[in-house]
Structure 1
């Protein structure tokens, strides 16, 4: 006999058999079966009853429609909107030692919570991003959702990632929970609001998603990127031809939303490879296709040995040839169909030579047919190229580049490549942002695209350092991102030695501000004043402070920075003199003049095209007299914007 049948199962506290019938659960189950629309998420993981809808279902005629409008509503939407408006108190710390080609690269790889990073990028990259490509969590229930119920986002981020002790943790989002869709919507909504601010006037947003949230995402996108001002196209992408077994269907596709300004040519035409050229008749057919409809489109095309060698003159009205006339081995082909009807070519005689390279002569049973090869065309609304298979060009590729990678199904490189080509094909200097970077496919695609087109596109990748369990080589997802971009760049250089484009990146990490907040201790005001005499956080470097200034002043994080020693002090010029920074200590009334005159001389040499701002460290001055003298000398020489921190 089966041993398990002889075992006696103990009834534990909390088991259904140890308590009375849960009438609330029974009522909820009944309502979900009969009137599922009545139950709405209550914000605490449970359900509430929509009283207004209940009234409507029982025929209450006193209902008001004043608050009805098209859109998507969920518990927490107002808070999600407010979170997007709350400024960040953080900064991005430069990490040259973790970077590749720090000095010369214009690519950015940022470790941090993308919500806070998007806030920090607002000034420097407002309306400058040509393409945003994101592959957010698909809300399958296993994905980790970053909590948004906090005031200090940087503090919560540091707690979540274990950099400081705290109560915030990454959380799973089970489908059985009452906030399954709400959690996901509250996560994506503020990020999309911030992303819109960064998108250029002709920029394109591309968001990939699966069936779990495709409907909700479509409505949210239409709210953030409102219809009328933006066009929205949802493209199914066949990314897994083998299929993923579902309950009743095998899923072979996902979706890519393309959102771009209405009325603009934001999506470039696709290039059709030679072996897949779309051929069509140069001869017109259908309505208004006869010779009399455009007489200047009736002329012979000269063919010899199957090759087009020239074009004849427009035929006079009284001339009526056969479809093909042969003279001294040269075939004169006219736009006459196999029924003998005189039609016309699609291009007039004065225009046809400009497209000669796109034409070919094809032998038919009744003579030659002249065909037009279409090498460029509109992208189609279903993408099914075999290159989009994420098994071969995602999982296999990443595993080859980064052995030991924990990614099981990353995006196909070529699906991202074609998306970015569509969005930036006419802008070889585009800035491309991905704030759900994952394995770094977007950065890899940008480098491949530059190699193939000769462009200088830049990427900004943002990735949360989400822990990877039982993986000593890659303790966080960010480490995988970094390793993949480095390996991809090395492979591109090895395979294309003539390519001189940028395959490096600068690493930055989200952290609390370098500037200390004023937090007085009421019981020890004197000690607080002494402790806050230095405004900068202990342990932070000049470089850390310098890059925070770039963010706060709205300068590109890759803007050129020069350093010069003036009167024994390190002075930095940013952007050709747009910003001059000196964070040195020891400015006294005796040393200020030499330093000030040296700064003025360098400023005149740089001759910036914009007004210059000069920034010092407040505690670097011995007293207010030294500080006033510095400002006076700079003002007298034309530098009017002088600040201290």
Structure 2
């Protein structure tokens, strides 16, 4: 598990993530050993005379290779289920909340959520220099290892490390690059990412997104008004933020972006049984039919204006005149126009186009008042985004079943907005929130807890970390939604979440992993228990087996609510997932358990394609006995040993 991933990470290069993506898209440029054939690839480019790869625009910053390497690494953490939340309040919920570093969470989600996220909204640190950079994004390798990984000298290492902890552009880009790279892989083919930010990094983020997402997938740079008017700060005080919008694949997106059509502009003065209508021009400036249209009422004829053409041919025009879909003005005496019915446009999925300026939905004091109403204190969280902004975003994507990810959850405005909108329109959207457990206090030399500068109000309100605020906001938002929509709330309304903590193993566990010898005939350490909530010193009451299994299920592509059955093998319980994959994790496996397993498989009591076992729980003798027994069975069962 952790050991396997650490070994993999030691081999990761800055281009590993890119090569993995390239291999998935262009496997023909890789040989049988998985090596990229650069000459073959260059040959393809040269045939098309693409020389701009040498001389064209590139995005460069100090730390870029380090950021690229981070994007290719596997998680070095485990996923600890909060059994106290998940077995009670969140038992039937499909919503997810992760407490932990979002880079690690994004790494964990690469297998079970790749290509499944419809909307990503994030409001990342704005890099203003105001202590808003709290993520544990340090260079964790020794200087010698960094030299080896990147081929750089002492002076370059000094430059690289100099960006840490500063509000430099390079530091911010190094921080954002791997997170956005991994987020892109989670988006569905028609998925969209929305990112809020201000002028500090807007230009740099635009360049980074062009580089990672592709400039052709840019949709808009929207202006979000956050204040009703200017204050006295700066020469020209800023009253807006930006909302950058990019598609995963703009060709898959279609024309489905926009708000639901409004009835404004539609009427039914002639009591047409087809309902309210409006008129549209019958001509356009693209080349098309050009003929005379005759008004059957008075015989008057019309041609399109100079440089314009009719949008229908003669036969279709005649049909539509008889059907009353082409009229000669409301008086019947003017140039022909189309009669367009509101019902037809709704049925065709037409949307009300939006502009790039958001006037009212993003006003900051709305978010502050909203949080104060829920938590009773407006100062527990600085400048929370209003739920109206997130609801606006969710409305324009036109997907009531969207999976929505926010990996800078903050006060969980996004989760609140998802649930509000589901209550309003009967949608079945799901949210995934990720929030770092940033503490609201420090511990002084006397061991006394002292609130941080910005965390005083939250600490005094009983919140020891930001993620606690996030989860409590969701709970109180649910209570308000239920109170406000008591009679109209959908029966399948999901008003809760499953909670997971993404944490590092303890130093002692890592030392035990380092010292473990798989050839030993006896086991001296219960490695499983070191991954329990107690062993990891976190809340939640999870056993070590539950933590390991949850982490592996994500690794193997299973959802967090996948079907798990406990199977007894002569007193030893293992986990069978979706009737095909068996996980053997706990200590205590013996010859009797092997015999029981082989009997159940051989007599077709269970069907197993793959067995995954926790290597630290097996001595060499029991492991070999199991391997030999499986080989003797009919069928081909894959045995995976993980460390």
Verify same fold: TM over 0.5.
yes
Q: State the 1:234 CA deviation.
A: 0.8
Query: Could you report, residue by residue, the CA deviation over 1:433-463 in whole angstroms, capped at 9, with x for unpaired residues?
Result: 1111111122222223333444433221111
Deviation string 1:271-297 (CA, Å, 9 cap, x unpaired) is 3453545785345478799997474xx
Gaps of 5+ in 1: 1-64, 154-172, 300-314, 323-333, 338-342
Q: Which residue of 2 aligns with 1:169?
A: none
2:60 corresponds to which of 69, 73, 98: 73
Match of 2:104 in 1: 116
Aligned residues of 2:526 and 2:587 also touching (Cα < 8 A):
no
CA contact (8 A) 2:531 2:547 kept: no
Q: What is the aligned partner in structure 2 of residue 130 from structure 1?
A: 118
How far, CA to CA, are the matches of 2:322 and 2:524 in structure 1? 77
TM-superposed deviation, 1:120: 1.7
Which aligned pairs between 1:412-561 and structure 2 lie closer than 5 A? 412-423=386-397, 425-426=398-399, 428-468=400-440, 469-470=455-456, 471-472=459-460, 473-494=462-483, 495=485, 496-513=488-505, 516-517=509-510, 534-536=526-528, 538=530, 540=532, 541=543, 542-561=545-564
Aligned pairs for 1:220-259 within 5 A: 220-228=208-216, 230-259=217-246
Aligned residue number for residue 186 of structure 2: 198
Secondary structure at 2:140's aligned position in 1? coil
Q: Output aligned runs, 1:204-353, within 5 Å.
A: 204-228=192-216, 230-260=217-247, 261-265=249-253, 268-272=256-260, 274=262, 276-277=264-265, 281-282=279-280, 284=282, 293=291, 295=293, 315=296, 320=298, 348=317, 350=319
The 3 A distance-change label for structure 1 pair 602 and 572 is farther
**Aligned pairs for 1:91-170 within 5 A:** 91-99=78-86, 101-145=89-133, 146-151=135-140
C-alpha separation between the residues in 1 aligned to 2:631 and 2:53?
Answer: 61
Judged with a 3 Å threshold, the aligned counterparts in structure 2 of structure 1 residues 283 and 137 are, in CA distance, closer, same or farther, namely: same
Contact (CA 8 Å) 1:238, 1:254: kept in 2 or not? Answer: yes
- 1:303 matched to which residue of 2? none
Tell me the CA shift for residue 643 of structure 1.
3.4
The match for 2:363 among 372, 376, 389 is 389
**CA positional deviation for 1:506:** 0.8
Relative to structure 1, the CA distance from residue 274 to residue 86 in structure 2 (aligned partners, 3 Å threshold; closer, same or farther) is closer
Shift in Å, 1:508? 0.6
CA contact (8 A) 2:100 2:502 kept: yes
How many angstroms apart in 2 are the aligned matches of 1:199 and 1:288?
A: 36
**What displacement does 1:98 show?**
3.2
Which digits, 9 at most, give the CA deviation of each residue in 1:44-76, with x for residues without a partner? xxxxxxxxxxxxxxxxxxxxx998642333222
SS at match of 1:74: coil
Aligned with 2:381: secondary structure? coil
SS in structure 2 at match of 1:251: coil
Query: Is the radius of gyration larger for structure 1 or structure 2?
Result: 1
Structure 2 unmatched ranges of 5 or more: 1-51, 143-161, 267-276, 305-309, 441-454, 533-542
Q: Per the alignment, do residues 531 and 389 of structure 1 end up closer, same or farther by CA in structure 2, a change over 3 Å counting?
A: same
* 2:566 pairs with 1:563: yes
Q: 1:404 aligns with which of 377, 385, 388?
A: 377
1:108–1:506: 8 Å Cα contact kept in structure 2? yes
> Aligned with 1:201: secondary structure?
strand
Cα displacement (A) at 1:185: 1.8
Which of 604, 610, 615 matches 1:613? 610
1:628 aligns with 2:635: no
Specify the SS of the correspondent of 1:256: strand
Q: Tell me, yes or no, if the aligned pair for 2:259 and 2:354 is still in contact at 8 Å.
A: no
Name the SS for the 2:214 alignment partner. Answer: coil
**1:518, 1:532 within 8 Å by CA — same for their partners in 2?**
no
Q: Equivalent residue of 1:78, what SS?
A: helix
Q: Counterpart in 1 of 2:575?
A: 572
In 2, the alpha carbon distance for the partners of 1:233 and 1:630 equals 57
> Post-superposition shift, 1:383?
3.2
Q: Tell me, yes or no, if the aligned pair for 1:283 and 1:335 is still in contact at 8 Å.
A: no
Q: Within 2, Cα distance between the matches of 1:620 and 1:178?
A: 44
C-alpha distance in 2, partners of 1:563/1:485? 32
Q: Distance in 2 between matches of 1:335 and 1:601?
A: 84
Alpha-carbon spacing, 1:399–1:451, altered in 2? closer, same or farther (3 Å):
same
Q: What's the CA shift string for 1:292-342, capped at 9, x where partnerless?
A: 7474xx67xxxxxxxxxxxxxxx4xxx5268xxxxxxxxxxx9999xxxxx
Higher helix share: 2
What is the SS of the residue equivalent to 2:246?
strand
Per-residue deviation, residues 464-499 of structure 1 (Å, max 9, x unmatched): 111232214222111111112222233333413334
Q: What's the Cα RMSD here?
A: 4.5
Q: Name the SS of the counterpart of 1:72 in structure 2.
A: coil
Q: TM-score, normalised by structure 2?
A: 0.68
The alignment's TM-score, normalised by the length of structure 1, stands at: 0.68
- The number of residues matched between the two structures is 512
Cα offset, 1:105, TM superposition = 1.5
Q: Could you list the per-position Cα deviations for residues 585-616 of structure 1 after superposition, in whole angstroms to 9, with x for gaps in the alignment?
A: 43333343234434666764xx6xxx732234
